[in-house]
Amino acid sequence: MQPLDDVVKEFLVESLENLDRLDRSLVDLEQDPHDRENLASIFRTIHTIKGTCGFLGFGKLESVSHVGESLLSRMRDGELVLNAAITTGLLAMVDAIRRILAVVEATGGEPNEDYGELIAMLNRLNAPGQKPAAAPAATVVMAEAVAAPGPASSPVGTATDTTAPRPEHAPARATEEIPMEIEIVDARSSDERPTGGERRPAIVDTSLRVDVGLLDKLMNLVGELVLARNQILQFTTSLSDSAFIGATQRLNLVASELQEGVMKTRMQPIDNVWSKFPRVVRDLAIACGKQVRIEMVGKDTELDKTIIEAIKDPLTHVVRNSADHGIETPSARIACGKPPEGVVRLRAFHEGGQINIEISDDGAGIDPEKVRRKAVDRSMVSAEQAARMSDHEALRLIFLPGFSTAEKITNVSGRGVGMDVVKTNIEKIGGTVDIQSTLGQGTTLKIRIPLTLAIIPALMVSTGGEVFAIPQVSLLELVRLEGEHARAGIERIGAATFYRLRGNLLPLVQLHSELNLASQGDPGIVNIVVLKADDRQFGLVVDSVNDTEEIVVKPLGRQLKSVQVFAGATIMGDGHVALILDATRLAQQAHVLSADRDRKPSDRQGGPLAHETADAQTWMLFQVNGTERMAMPLHLVARLEEFATADIERSGGQEVVQYRGEILPLVSLTRFFGGTANSESDPRQVIVFSDHGRSVGLVVDRILDIVTETITPTRSQARSGILGAAVIQQRVTDLLDVAAIVRHALPESVSEPVAA
C-alpha cells in the first residue's frame, strides 16, 4: 500500500496547490469572461483533478468535479458565458473539492457528506433552457457515462486519455435533451465509480517538491561551509603558495554561489499568499453588498519561506478588514463623490534590506475621535490620556488587545481580536506595523519585515578588545575623525555627545560605555559607525572598524536572553566567537530611541505629554525670555544653528533667514511668549526642526542642556504654546508645544495635523 499512499499524497499536494490558483483564476475570469487562456487553464485544472481522483477511486470527488468540468467545457466552447451565479457555483465546487481533499488527507477516505445539492445546482447552471446553443459537454458526459460502468473493475483500463481531448473534438451538434441526459449521468456518477483519464499534470515537468526540513538542513550545512571558508581565507593571508591561494579563491566563489543558491530555494514570491485574496475580497464584498476591486503591485517580491508562513494570517486579516470595515457600501461611496467600486491595494517591495508590505483602501478611513472614545469606553486609556494623544497615536490604539471599532459585529471581522494579533505576529518575526488613515479617504497599513536570513553581511568592529558584528542592514555610513577633527568634531551638551553630520545633529553612543568595557582605542581617532534604528540615525563610537564578513547568525542560549543588545553570535574566520549587535536595542538602551520602538519620531510632535510612561525621553533644554526654562523632545530637533542678526530679513511680516537655498521662517520664542527680544543674543541661537519637509527655526536665548529623564508633566501651566510643566534637573521647566509654534509660523499648515 505504500506506493499508493505516495500517489495519494502527491495528488493531494498537487490538487491543493492547483485549487489555490483556481480561486484566483475564477475571479479573474469573472472580470474578463472571454479570456480563453484563463478558461482553458481552469478547465485543465478541474479536469486533472477529476481524472486523477477517478483513477484513485474517489467517487464523490469525481462526481463533484465532473459537473464542474461539464460546465466549464461548455463555457470554453463559447456556449455559455460566465456570470456571477456561475462563478459562485464554481467557487462552491472548489470549496467542496477542498473539503473532500481535507478529509482524504486526514482519514484516507472520502467524507460521508452528500454533495447532491451542489451537483444539482451546478447542473441547473449548466442547463438554462433559454440558452439555445446546446452543450457539447453533454456528449462528453454521455460518452464517459457509457464508459464508466463497464471498466469499473479495472480502474486504469479503457476510459483513459480520451476524455481530455474529446470536448475539443466533439463540440457536439446541439441536442435538446441534454439537461435530462446530464441528470441521469450525474445520478449515476455519484453512485458508482466511473473512471476518468489519469493524465498527469504538466506543471511537474520543470519543478520539484522538496521537504522544507531538508532545505533547512542544507541551509545549516551551507552556513558551516561558509564558516569553514572564512577560516581558510584567513590562512591565505599568511601563506603564499599560489596553488593554495587559487584553490581557496575557487572555494570562495563556489561557496558564495552555493550559499546564494540555497537561500534562493527558500524564497517564494509573496503572490503565494496574495493569490487567495481576490477570492477572499470577492466573497466578502458579495456578503456585505459592496463592490471591491483588489489591486496588487510587486507580486514577485520574494520572501523567505518561514516569513511567508508567518505573514499569511495577519495579511488575510488586514485585507478582510479593509474590505469589510474600510470600503463603504456603493451608495455611501456615491454620496461622498467616490466611484461605487472600492479598491484594496496591496503593494510589496524591498527597501533598505527590509520587505515593505502596504495594504491600503480608499474607504472611509478611521476616525481618531471614535477610536479615542472607544478606548476610553473600554477603559484602555483614561479620557485625559486620550485627549492628549495625537491623531496618529490614537489610531495606533487599534493595535491594543480587545479593540474593535466596527459598529456592528459581522461574521467576517469586528470581534475585537485582530489588529493586536496582527501586530504580535508581525513583531514575532521582527517586523513592525504602522497605520495611517485619513478620514473619508482611506487607510493604509504598513508592514515592514526584516529579511531575516541565516547568513548576513556584517561589519566587524572592535571595542574594548572584543569584536562585534553589526548587520549591514542597519549600517548607513562610516565616519572617521582624526587629529583636530576628533577633538573639535564631537560636541557635548550635558552628558550627551553629538557629531554634526552634514549639518544634522547625530547623537553619539559610546559602545564601550554601553557595554561596560574599557575603551582601548586611540584617543586621537574617533570611529563613528552611523546606524539606522527604526527611522532614527545615531552614531556608534567604536575603537576600530575591521572589515566586512559574511556571518552565520547563531542564536544565544537562554542564559543570555536578558542581554538584549545582542541579536545573536557568530563564529569568525579565526574560529573565535563574535557577538552580533542589535542596533535598535542598543539605541534604546542608550536612550537615543525610546523603548517604545514602534513609534516613529514624528508621532511625538503633537503631545510629548502623552508619554507618562516610565520610559525616559531625551529633552533639549533652552532658555527663553531671559529666565524661562523650556524643554522640547530632542528628536524633533534637526539642527542647531547660529544666525547673525544682520542676516535676518523680513518677509510677509515674519522674520526669515536664507538657509540652505530656502527661506527659513524664524519664530522668536521670547516674543511668542510676550517678552521683548532684547535678551536675544547676537548671533541668534536657533533650533531648526523640520515638519513635512518645511523647516522652522526657533530663536531662543540660549541652549542649556540635553538630558534624558523620565518626567511627570502637569498641565497646570498650560497656555498657548505650552503643553505643561515638569521638573527637569530639579527645576520647573515648561514643555514647549511644538505643534502650536508650527501653526503660528506656518498658518497654512493648520488644516493638516502636524504629526501625521
| Binding of residue 565 to other proteins (CB under 8 A) | yes
Q: Contact between 560 and other proteins (CB under 8 A)?
A: yes
CB of 556 to other proteins, least distance (A): 7
Member of 164, 311, 515, 667 binding other proteins (CB under 8 A): 515
Q: What string of DSSP letters covers 353-419?
A: TEEEEEEEE-S----HHHHHHHHHHTTSS-HHHHHHS-HHHHHGGGGSTT----SS--SSS-SS-SH
8 A C-beta contact, residue 632 and residue 738: yes
- Smaller CB separation from other proteins, 39 or 515: 515
Site string for other proteins, 423-462 (x = CB under 8 A): ----------------------------------------
Could you say whether residue 561 binds other proteins (CB under 8 A)? yes
From the CB of 554, what's the least distance to other proteins, in Å? 5
Q: How far is the CB of 519 from other proteins (least distance, A)?
A: 13
Residue 69 DSSP SS3: helix
∠ CA 61-63-65 to the nearest 5 degrees?
Answer: 65
Which CB atom, from 520 or from 720, has the smaller least distance to other proteins?
520
**Contacting range for other proteins; rule: CB under 8 A; set: 299-307, 351-359, 563-571, 603-611:** 563-571
- Selected range binding other proteins among 9-17, 83-91, 381-389, 556-564, rule: CB under 8 A: 556-564
Of 345 and 554, the one with the shorter C-beta distance to other proteins is 554
- Nearest CB to other proteins, comparing residues 313 and 574: 574
Per CB under 8 A, the list member of 427, 501, 566, 600 interacting with other proteins is 566
| Residue from 610, 652, 614, 666 nearest 633 by CA | 610
Residue placing its CB nearer to other proteins in the complex, 220 or 658 = 220
Instruction: Please identify, using beta-carbon distances, which residue of 214 and 577 lies nearer to other proteins.
Output: 577
The answer to whether residues 390 and 605 touch, using CB atoms and an 8 Å cutoff, is yes
Minimum CB separation of residue 614 from other proteins in Å reads: 17
Among 332, 556, 677, 718, the residue binding other proteins under the rule CB under 8 A is: 556
Q: Are 318 and 346 in contact (CB under 8 A)?
A: no
For other proteins, the closer CB: 262 or 515: 515
The verdict on 576 binding other proteins (CB under 8 A) reads yes
Q: Which residues contact 2 (CB under 8 A, 6 or more apart)?
A: none
By beta-carbon proximity to other proteins, the closer residue of 464 and 494 is 464
Structural contact between residues 75 and 68, judged by C-beta atoms closer than 8 angstroms: no
Instruction: Give the residue with the Cβ less far from other proteins, 516 or 712.
Output: 516
> For other proteins, which is the closer residue by CB, 557 or 652?
557
Describe the chain by its helix, strand, coil percentages, rounded to 5.
Answer: 45, 25, 30
Q: Which of 112, 379, 516, 730 binds other proteins (CB under 8 A)?
A: 516
Per CB under 8 A, does 218 bind other proteins? no
Q: Which member of 5, 32, 161, 224 binds other proteins (CB under 8 A)? A: 224
Comparison of 570 and 618: residue with beta carbon closer to other proteins: 570
Q: Which x/- pattern over 461-480 shows residues binding other proteins (rule: CB under 8 A)?
A: ---x-x--------------
- Cis amide leading into 683 (omega within 30): yes
Shortest distance in whole angstroms from residue 524 CB to other proteins: 25
Rounded Cα gap, residues 401 and 380, in angstroms: 9
User: Could you say which of 127, 451, 481, 578 contacts other proteins (CB under 8 A)?
Assistant: 578
Compute the radius of gyration of the chain from its Cα atoms.
33
Residue 253 engages other proteins in binding (rule: CB under 8 A): no
Among 154, 559, 627, 730, contact with other proteins (rule: CB under 8 A): 559
Minimum distance from residue 273 beta carbon to other proteins (Å): 32
173 Cβ neighbours under 8 A, 6+ residues apart: none
In this structure, are residues 534 and 429 in contact, taking their beta carbons and an 8 Å threshold?
no
Question: Nearer to other proteins by C-beta: 75 or 551?
Answer: 551
Q: How many residues does the chain have?
A: 756
Options 324-332, 576-584, 620-628, 676-684: segment touching other proteins (CB under 8 A) = 576-584
- Strand partners of residue 642: 685
Strands 442-450 and 496-501, by their bridges, are: unpaired
Q: Give kind and range of the element (H or E) at residue 49.
A: helix 36-56
Cell numbers for 743: 501653526
What is the closest distance, in whole angstroms, from the C-beta atom of residue 245 to other proteins in the complex?
A: 24
- CB-wise, 468 or 672, nearer to other proteins? 468
CA 229 – CA 256 distance, rounded (Å): 9
Q: Cβ atoms within 10 A of the Cβ of 560, count?
A: 13
Q: Judged by CB, which is closer to other proteins: 16, or 228?
A: 228
Cβ 582 to other proteins shortest distance, Å: 12
Strand-pair category, 694-700 with 662-668: parallel
Q: Collapse the DSSP code of 274 into the 3-class scheme (helix H, G, I; strand E, B; otherwise coil) and give the result.
A: helix
Q: 437 vs 124, 420, 443, 537, 646, CA distance in Å?
A: 46, 17, 4, 26, 44
Name the residue nearer to other proteins (CB basis): 206 or 516.
516
Cell of 557: 542560549
Q: Tell me which residue of 437, 420, 529, 428 sits closest to 477, measured CA to CA.
A: 529
* Closest separation in Å from C-beta 46 to other proteins: 49
- Determine, following the binding rule CB under 8 A, whether residue 569 of this chain makes contact with other proteins: yes
Selected range binding other proteins among 249-257, 270-278, 371-379, 566-574, rule: CB under 8 A: 566-574
359 binds other proteins (CB under 8 A): no
How many residues of this chain bind other proteins (CB under 8 A)? 26
Q: State which of residues 132, 213, 483, 557 lies at the interface with other proteins (CB under 8 A).
A: 557
Stretch that binds other proteins, among 187-195, 293-301, 521-529, 562-570 (CB under 8 A): 562-570
Cβ(64)–Cβ(116) below 8 Å: no
Strands (DSSP E) found in 604-693: 617-624, 628-633, 639-643, 649-651, 654-659, 662-668, 684-691
**Minimum separation from the CB atom of position 456 to other proteins (A):** 16
Q: Give min distance, CB of 553 to other proteins, in A.
A: 10
Q: Is 558 in the site for other proteins (CB under 8 A)?
A: yes
**Only segment of 368-376, 475-483, 557-565, 662-670 that touches other proteins (CB under 8 A):** 557-565
Question: Does 563 contact other proteins by CB under 8 A?
Answer: yes
**Residue 539: what are its φ and ψ, rounded to 5°?**
-105, 130
DSSP assigned state of 558? G
Instruction: Find how far residue 393's CA is from the centre of its chain.
Output: 20
Cβ-defined contacts of 19-25 (< 8 Å, 24+)? 19/45, 19/94, 19/97, 19/98, 19/101, 20/275, 20/276, 21/45, 21/275, 22/46, 22/94, 23/91, 23/94, 23/275, 23/276, 23/278, 23/279, 24/275, 24/276, 24/278, 24/279
One symbol per residue from 114 to 153: x for binding other proteins (CB under 8 A), - otherwise; what is it? ----------------------------------------
**C-alpha grid cell, residue 283:** 466573497
Distance of alpha carbon 232 from alpha carbon 625, whole angstroms: 67
Q: Which one of 577, 644, 663, 750 is in contact with other proteins (CB under 8 A)?
A: 577
Angle at 490 between CA 485 and CA 492, to 5 degrees: 150
Candidates 109, 116, 503, 575: give the one binding other proteins (CB under 8 A): 575
CB of 647 to other proteins, least distance (A): 48
C-alpha–C-alpha distance, residues 430 and 62, integer Å: 45
Report the nearest approach of other proteins to the CB of residue 469 (Å): 11
Site for other proteins, rule CB under 8 A: 224, 227, 464, 466, 515-517, 554, 556-563, 565-566, 569-571, 575-579
